[in-house]
């Protein structure tokens, strides 16, 4: 029992998985934040297109 506990404490595979999960989470946050800027730009483009089409048809 004591050897199993010592081996579990020395095992670093779980820590590595947690580190990878944190890295993936940070990358996901960075992607989401960068896409918000793209979203705003796309909204502007489509609003200009809609205005132009509305003016041309009216």
Q: Is residue 54 part of a domain?
A: yes
**Does the residue 44 lie in any domain?**
yes
Examine residue 8 and state whether it is found in any structural domain, yes or no.
no
Give the Cα separation of 51 and 43 in Å (integer): 12
Q: pLDDT tens per residue, the chain (58 residues)?
A: 788 877 776 776 667 888 889 999 999 999 999 998 899 899 999 999 999 999 998 6
> Is the residue at 52 inside a domain?
yes
Does the residue 35 lie in any domain? yes
When divided into structural domains, the chain yields a total of 1
Residue 14 lies in a domain: no
User: Does 6 map to a domain?
Assistant: no
Domain of 46, in residue numbers: 24-58
CA distance 56 to 37: 29
State the pLDDT at residue 10: 75
Burial annotation 29-50 (CB, 10 A radius, 16+ → b, else e)? eeeeeeeeeeeeeeeeeeeeee
Please tell me whether the overall predicted TM-score, pTM, comes out greater than 0.75 for this model.
no
Question: Does any domain span residue 18?
Answer: no
């Amino acid at each position: 029992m004591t050897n199993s506990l010592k081996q579990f404490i020395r095992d670093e595979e779980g820590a590595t998985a947690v580190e990878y999960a944190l890295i993936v989470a940070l990358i996901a946050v960075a992607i989401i934040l960068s896409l918000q800027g793209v979203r705003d730009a796309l909204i502007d483009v489509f609003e200009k297109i809609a205005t132009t089409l509305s003016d041309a048809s009216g």
